[in-house]
Amino acid sequence: MGEARTPAQRFADLRTRTLSGIAVAAGAFGLLWVGGLPFACLVAALAAVTAWEFRAITAAGLGGGWLAAVAAALPVLALPLLPQAAALGLLAAGAALAAGSDLLARRPAPAAWIAGGVGLVGLAAMALVALRLAEPYGLETAFWIALVVVLTDIGGYFAGRLIGGPLLWPTVSPKKTWAGLGGGVALAFFGGGLFSWATTGTYFYEVCTVSAIAALLAQGGDLAESALKRRFGVKDAGRLIPGHGGALDRFDGLMAATLVAAAVTFWRGKAVFIW
């Protein structure tokens, strides 16, 4: 067994994580509030950096990061201007082009990774912009997604460090615990429902349930990214955000939660706040 850590050691990174998180949130919220093309530009930039990092992890030294970045970002920028089907076609074409460059160089393994990575990152980014554009409750939905992910992170961070206990997936993540998983889901459950009650006044319990599912899958997205980095022997996806790592390190959970919200919203034809 390892040595018990003091409270100061357990929360040594808290100040850096908090300050950088506040700085990122402040800028992002302003563009989220404005919506439209400005918000799409923010999400496209995030998609570009995330796709670049994904390429760097899965095909280090082979280049092609710029192609992955453009392929993931361009459909996001096009979404406020084109029909959704056309933007999706642009994403498919970009992913195929990025993969094709590897296939022409006789690199089938990196081609498969870049096609999947560009497709997943681009689709999640497009879903976030589409949800913000949707009416009614587009602004509330986009903010709710971000809130659920933040609450999941906060609940997991404090429950994991204060309670500890068995690791969730020891071979993939040496820090994530079952207590952290429960804490993150619980805080998102109540926080997501309270947000719905305070802003739209609708369907507290239904939104609580969807918030918990989104939180669970957000942590699953985080674990999937940890497994990806372990598979390729990478510690951090990047150093974009102090205390948080790269864009992929920070926004893997956001992608998963966004896809949950998009599935619930567009499958039903109603915002998550309407049941």
Domain residue spans in the chain? 35-133, 137-275
Rg (CA), the chain: 19
Q: Cα 26 to the chain's mean position, in Å?
A: 17
**Residue 2: pLDDT band by 50, 70, 90 thresholds?**
very low
d(CA 261, CA 127): 9
Average pLDDT, the chain: 89
Tell me the per-residue pLDDT of 14-23, one tens digit each, with 9 for 90 and over.
666 566 557 6
Q: Which two tokens stand for residue 7?
A: 């409270």
Angle between helical axes of 108-133 and 36-58 (0-180°, round to 10): 160
Query: Could you tell me the CA-to-CA distances from 122 to 2, 46, 48, 253, 257 in Å, in that order?
Result: 41, 10, 9, 15, 14
d(CA 69, CA 103): 18
Tell me the per-residue pLDDT of 234-272, one tens digit each, with 9 for 90 and over.
877 666 555 556 788 878 899 999 999 999 999 999 999
Tell me the per-residue pLDDT of 205-241, one tens digit each, with 9 for 90 and over.
899 999 999 999 999 999 999 999 999 988 776 665 5
pTM, two decimal places: 0.88
